[in-house]
Amino acid sequence: MFEAEQIKQLIEQGLACDYVEIAGDDGVHFTGIVVSEAFAGKPRVRQHQAVYATLGALMGNEIHALQLQTYTPAQWDEFRRQLDE
């Protein structure tokens, strides 16, 4: 079983990120937000694959599910700005 903080650290080690937030309390199902400039110009499926690649064989084994929201820094800024309105 994994802790959300461990997954966050693995993602940050494998991908240049501006922001990572991972949550989950059962040790196998997680949700997360990942913000990275590396996502620019990539379709969402490729963005998610880039995050999953940082977790390697853990995905589908120790980590059963990771529901992601991915953003570029500009998209993240826009999303947060809309929340403040």
Interatomic CA distance for residues 14 and 82, integer angstroms: 30
What are the residue ranges spanned by the domains of the chain?
A: 4-84
pTM: 0.93
* 4-84 CATH fold: GMP Synthetase; Chain A, domain 3 (3.30.300)
Tell me what pLDDT residue 85 has.
Answer: 83
| pLDDT tens-digit readout, 61-84 | 889 899 999 999 999 999 999 989
Tell me what pLDDT residue 60 has.
Answer: 82
Strands (E) in 1-85, as ranges, are 19-23, 29-35, 65-71
Point out the residues of the chain with pLDDT beneath 70. none
Question: Token pair for residue 74?
Answer: 């500009």
